[in-house]
Amino acid sequence: MALQNEQCQACSVDAPLATDAEIREWRHEIPDWKLIEEDGEEKLQREFRFKNFREALAFTNKVGELAETEDHHPALLTEYGRVNVIWWTHKIGGLHRNDFICAARTDELYNEAQ
Residues of the chain where predicted confidence (pLDDT) is lower than 50:
none
d(CA 45, CA 66): 16
Q: For residue 67, report the phi and psi dihedrals to the nearest 5 degrees.
A: -60, -45
Cα–Cα separations (whole angstroms), residue 106 to 3, 14, 39: 11, 26, 24
pLDDT of 1: 59
> CB–CB of 113/90 below 8 Å?
no
Q: Which domains does the chain have, with CATH numbers?
A: 18-113 (3.30.1360.20)
b or e along 31-40 (b: 16 or more beta carbons within 10 Å of the residue's beta carbon)?
eebeeeeeee
| Residue 109 burial (C-beta neighbours within 10 Å; 0-12, 13-18, 19+) | middle
pLDDT of 43: 98
* 79: β partners: 82
